[in-house]
Every structure is written in C-alpha cells, then in structure tokens.
Structure 1
C-alpha cells in the first residue's frame, strides 16, 4: 500500500507523546448548530457528550506545543498531530467567526501521558485514546451534522476532531458509519480493522519511574 509509510509517520507522531506531560489545552470549537431558537450558534447539546473542534492544541511541560487536526485521504479523514505553528491560522475562519470560538479547554485532563492507543480504519488514523495520569481522553475524526429533522447526527471519518472525556459515552452513541466492535477498548497498542497493516515502530506505552 503506497500510503502505509505516510500513515506509519502519523502513528509515530502520536506514539511519541507517551511519557510527556501536558500542562494545558486550548482549541477552536465549532458550533453544533449555526443558530438555535434565535439565540445564535449552539456549541453544546445534551445529545452530544463531546467537544467538536477544528483544532486541538496541547502545551507540554518541556515547552513544546502540538496541534491535533485532521487530514483527508480519498473520502475518509484521519487525525493528524503536528508541531503548533503559531502562524495565526485561526484568522482564516474570521468570516465564519459566529460558528467558531477559541478558548482554553480546562475540562480536559492534564498530566503525564501514560498510554497512546490508536485505531486505524480504512487506511486512516480514525481514533486515538490518550491515558493521562490514568484518565482517558478519546479523540475521533468525525463531525456532528444537523439533519433536516433538526437531529444532531454523529459521523465518523470526517473533518473535525471530536473529543470525549468519557469513552463510554462515545460507545453509547449511534454513529455513521458504525464504530468497529471493541473500538472503545484502549489496550495501549495499535488497533486496526485493516488486514496486513504493518505496526513496526509504533511505540505506544511508557513507564515512568518516579
């Protein structure tokens, strides 16, 4: 598969978070609805137990910063971690400021990253679970879309970053397409639905000596 080496690089970028410490999170949040009952953009709904982000930024204790966004491969989207550029890219969305907001994400766990557990599906990095001082943080490439009946539908393999502090909540939802069986069970190793995918060099677990 021609794209396999490129995918291996994306996996390794996440794997290298193991053993590092996150001190803070910020993100560019994307509204679930452009308008709700005449009150402007809606960023939260009881039926959607996650954040929908354009990008997720993490500041690390060693002074580095990384940005988690998405990339497109054919019709699917996957998660992509890169060094934070600091180039003011958020201004690209100024014309859509009503449906985007940048804020500190103090509700997300901080601390040492003990385990990184990625899920590869259809040749893309569909999900990553980080265990931060034992607390799970599930990242899914996806998007919340509003149906003609005003329902909020959760799509996987799409262009936003969906962030769950409770993976069990993600497992209880209906997804389009369905999530693979056992996808919420983070084991510390690469999980994949793709037969024949090489996992060489994907280090995902770190033991700290206090």
Structure 2
C-alpha cells in the first residue's frame, strides 16, 4: 500500500484560477515562490543525482494545509537521464516551456529556471500564460523591463497596494525576467534564485515586525 501526504489545498493553479479563487496575500505568494525555488534547487544541486523536472508549472505545485508548496509531476524527468539530455519528442505545457528546449530538444537545469520565471509572473499578475508565437504574459513583462520601466500596471491589483508591496513585486519581476533570458548561460541557477527569494522573504517579514 502506498500512502501519500494529503495536500488539502489543491494546486497553485487552483488557488490562482479556480472557480472559487480566494484572496491570496502577497506574503503567501512570496512564500510559495521561495519554497518552490528551494525545492527545485534541491533537485538540481543537493539530491543524490541531479534531477531535471521538465514540467514545472502551477498545476504541479501542490499545497498542504499550511499552503506550503510540494513539487509534483515528474513524468517528463523520468524520460531524461544524466547521460541523455536530448529527447526526440518535446513534451510538456508549451506555455511554460523553455524556447531553447522547444527548438533543440535539449532539456537542462536552466530549462526549469525558465519555467520558474514564468510561474513567478503568474503569481504576481494572476494571469495565465498562453502559448503563442509571443507569449503575451511573458512578452509584456519583457517589454517593460527592456524599456527600463516598472511593471506596476501588470501586477495583480489585489496585492499591489502599498509602496512596500510594489518594491517586493518589482524585485520578483526582475528575478523572473532574468530567469527568462533566451541566453541560457545568462540565466541564474535555481540555487541563486532560491537564495534571493529567501532574502526577499526575510526582508518582508522584518518589515512586518
């Protein structure tokens, strides 16, 4: 008999876009991002062997009774081994897929970093990405960043309330844009992303004290 942990709050996709979506504070979204980053960083650099997730998206982030995230959905990672990073059949949700992987079939740790960047944008905007020649959610944030502007208009109005909120959201947007760099070598590692989000979370908590 297999016994799994009960994740009574469903997935991040459920709480962001489900029929009964409830208010979701910025602090909780930041925790979800930080803890998910820690999970991916562990898979990439601390596990017995490196693990590519390959399908990181809100539907694969489960939430327990305390809304702590648990990464699931490792179907694609089982198709990739450390000595075989290429796959003939590109599979996964195209809305979160690394364009380099889509074009070459080469799945790397940085492919997960790209997907994580898309998830951050979804967390701070509460808008779903859509696969197209130009993913609208991703494209709008990249355009604003390229123009050197703040992405204030793109943030979910529910959490973009105070100046402190906007500062946190701006930092999250910058991290996301770095993750979405089409130059794979210029993307941060998940360990770096996890450390930055941990510091951001600690800073947020100190402001609340």
**Could you tell me the TM-score, scaled by structure 2's length?**
0.30
Instruction: Identify the structure with the greater strand proportion.
Output: 1
TM-score computed with the length of structure 1 as normaliser: 0.30
| Bigger proportion of residues as helix | 2
